[in-house]
Structure 1
Amino acid sequence: MGLALGLCLVSGASAVLMVSAPEPPAGSGDPVETSASGPVGDGVPDSSDDRRTQQSAESTTSPAPGEGSGEKPPVLLRSVEEEVDSADGELSVVEGESEVMGEGPLTTFAVEVEEGLPGETEDFAAAVEKILGDPRSWRADDERSVQRVDDEDADVRVLLAAPDTVDRLCAPLNTNGYVSCANGNRAIINQNRWVSGVPHFEGDLRTYRIYLINHEVGHTLGRGHVDCPGEGELAPVMQQQTLSLQGCERNGWVHPENDSEN
């Protein structure tokens, strides 16, 4: 099984599962709307160019609060690092389990990180756990309960990887080194989007990170893309906000009307 949902703090970060990223099949297609059984992503702004070389000049990310002061930034703003093109190609499951969060049928998730990425694996795992365990995420309204595990048979896996590895894992979907995707039960997160966001979020990296996890995990749960419902309204989490807000306001939550427990 593949992806992972998450919310809490992680006590350890040693690798449990190692697997080489597969080579892409011959011929990669353009992004298309698919079911959760095949790769699905946010498309590519310009399918003729590899976007990773343009993002560093466009990035609007500001230093995380507390950075440089000795104070640890909030969980959702940790490990703001430089962009990369590639890493080691080996994927490691981050050790650690959370309590069961929410009510309803249990969905387990694991967190995987590619070896050799900048930043701390514990930071990514803690952020995923915090997002997916929030009542505003996919566990809302007692639809399901969620629990982070470090079992290779987790129902969902959330994976952080360098652009080159994302391109391989998402093939035949064309991610062009820029966007993230979901493939089967894996939510595959592009490291450069995680650390830099996108320009039209105007430096709001916290909201973009929440959106990125909830959107790709939504695909693993069978949700497809939707459009902005109207000018000035909150963007639905399954809107392709990485590409455009379409006149909506940026939003990362599935159920933004719910109260947070945190």
Structure 2
Amino acid sequence: MLVHRPTGLALTAVATALLLAACDPGGSDSAAKTSKIEQHGNGESKAGQDDNGKPRVVQHGNGEFDAAQASGKVYGNGSKIRRYAILVEQGTGISSKETAREIEQILAAKRGWTADGIDAFQLVSQKPYDFVIDIASPDTADRICAEGGLDTNGEVNCDVGHKVVVNLKRWLTGSPQFPGSISEYRALIINHEVGHRIGHHHEECPGPGKPAPAMMQQIYGLDGCKANAWPYDPDGNYLGGPPSKETKAVE
């Protein structure tokens, strides 16, 4: 992936970076460590809340990941079946299994990428897989993304090597630019990053009042579009826009 003028976000130091960076999955010890699928898990607790009742975001995790012991059927009629696994950093308070099922529902949705008639998706709990989706603390996400030359500044997500890296802060708190529910914003995260994974690039707002493309970097502003998490509408029409003329960062 899926990597999308921030208001209310500490992104003042985000550097222009590579949009999609190739990364040898075995190219570094740290990358291998974080991408390894463990055959055990202890991340089944719920994320807590801070004193203000907001989700508690662990800023610095231990860099160890638990694989979701969950698998499922193939969703979509496309001939390109993409197998993926879900890894959650230990100590984040996120249930790896519940997260896997939530992501599975997003990728199986009729308004998702299966509507292209080309791609299909299957959740797996072990190799072989085509890519993994990491839910990582901001510091860990920064480290993994930096291995592909990407500066996420503790705030955003990225697609690097064989990984989709989801920043825990975004997963738990959403974005001030997105007025919908947290579940809808999570759908945007997955659809955007997996969109990169299957070959889509950033797009811009197609016009005032129209749905923002899932491949638009909506975290930086909507430019008159309406927030939208899905690449297709209920009738199977692609909700796209013109190619982006600039790269703000990653999301």
TM-score by length of 2: 0.71
1:187-206 matches, cutoff 5 A: 187-202=164-179, 204-206=181-183
Residue 119 of structure 1 is aligned with which of 85, 89, 94? 94
Work out the number of aligned pairs and report it: 193
CA 1:123 to 1:96, structure 2 compared with 1: closer, same or farther past 3 Å? closer
Residue 69 of structure 2 is aligned with which of 95, 99, 104? 95
Q: Does 1:37 find its partner at 2:9?
A: no
Q: Does 1:110 find its partner at 2:85?
A: yes
CA-CA distance at 1:202 after TM superposition? 2.9
SS of equivalent residue, structure 2 residue 17: coil
Q: Spell out, residue by residue over 1:150-209, the C-alpha distance to the aligned partner (whole angstroms, 9 max, x if none).
A: 123311211100000000010121111001111023110000111100112235212211
Corresponding letter in the other structure for 1:92: D
Corresponding letter in the other structure for 1:111: I
Structure 1 CA distance for aligned equivalents of residues 122 and 102 of structure 2: 14
**Structure ranking higher on relative contact order (CA contacts 8 Å, 6+ apart):** 1
SS of equivalent residue, structure 2 residue 220: coil
CA 1:203 to 1:120, structure 2 compared with 1: closer, same or farther past 3 Å? same
Structure 1 CA distance for aligned equivalents of residues 231 and 108 of structure 2: 12
1:64-103 matches, cutoff 5 A: 81-103=55-77
1:169-208 matches, cutoff 5 A: 169-171=144-146, 172-202=149-179, 204-208=181-185
CA-CA distance at 1:212 after TM superposition? 0.6
Kindly report structure 1 stretches of 4+ aligned residues shifted beyond 4 Å.
none
CA-CA distance at 1:37 after TM superposition? 2.6
CA-CA distance at 1:33 after TM superposition? 4.7
Which residue number in structure 2 is paired with residue 238 of structure 1?
Answer: 215
CA 1:165 to 1:99, structure 2 compared with 1: closer, same or farther past 3 Å? same
Corresponding letter in the other structure for 2:84: F
Structure 1 CA distance for aligned equivalents of residues 223 and 131 of structure 2: 29
Question: CA RMSD of the aligned region, Å?
Answer: 2.2
Structure 2 CA distance for aligned equivalents of residues 253 and 113 of structure 1: 24
Structure 2 CA distance for aligned equivalents of residues 258 and 95 of structure 1: 34
The answer to whether the Cα contact below 8 Å between 1:81 and 1:118 also exists between their aligned partners in 2 is no
TM-score by length of 1: 0.68
Q: Does 1:160 find its partner at 2:145?
A: no
Q: Spell out, residue by residue over 1:234-255, the C-alpha distance to the aligned partner (whole angstroms, 9 max, x if none).
A: 0000000122111111111111
The answer to whether the Cα contact below 8 Å between 1:36 and 1:223 also exists between their aligned partners in 2 is no
Structure 2 CA distance for aligned equivalents of residues 88 and 35 of structure 1: 26
Which residue number in structure 2 is paired with residue 210 of structure 1?
Answer: 187
SS of equivalent residue, structure 1 residue 188: strand
